[in-house]
Amino acid sequence: MATAEQTKIAIRCASCGKEQATKTTANGKLRLPRGWKSVHEDSLCNACFSAKYGVWAVLLPVTGFLGDGNWETFREVIREQWDEATRLSQWAYTEMYVRDVRREPDDQKLKPMSHIYLYPEARKNSPHYHRIPLRDC
């Protein structure tokens, strides 16, 4: 008897229409072939995904300073903010890892991860990031 994992069918790229043989998962969904990506409900081949999505850089030109600002002060402030953003990011990553669900020996299935909302703690840990939106929780 064939299992769902052994059933071979074709997956179709939602952009170019390319088809590639794939299998179904135990849940009956199509398994994405290597390099394919799922975007919303669509499956995209590697070429179409690479053509549509990429890493973008945003440049904000600074032409001058208000008041008595200068480049030295500007660089100092940017450096401090960069350090703080890095520290906050590493803290958040660690907190997510620490609070993640651990599989116990008797578990048949990994339990779902509970909702984690870090903004209130982030705000306490980084008080000069006072513009972080804080919703009621």
Summarize as ranges the residues that interact with Zn ion (CB under 5 A).
Answer: 13, 15-16, 18, 45, 48
Closest separation in Å from C-beta 87 to Zn ion = 40
Smaller CB distance to Zn ion: residue 46 or 126?
46
Closest separation in Å from C-beta 35 to Zn ion = 11
Distance (Å, rounded) from C-alpha 88 to C-alpha 126? 7
Distance (Å, rounded) from C-alpha 119 to C-alpha 125? 10
Distance (Å, rounded) from C-alpha 47 to C-alpha 105? 42
Closest separation in Å from C-beta 44 to Zn ion = 6
Smaller CB distance to Zn ion: residue 20 or 126?
20
Smaller CB distance to Zn ion: residue 14 or 92?
14
Distance (Å, rounded) from C-alpha 32 to C-alpha 14? 13
Smaller CB distance to Zn ion: residue 52 or 99?
52
Cβ neighbours for 38, distance < 8 A, ≥ 6 positions apart: 32, 44
Closest separation in Å from C-beta 27 to Zn ion = 24
- SS3 at position 128: coil
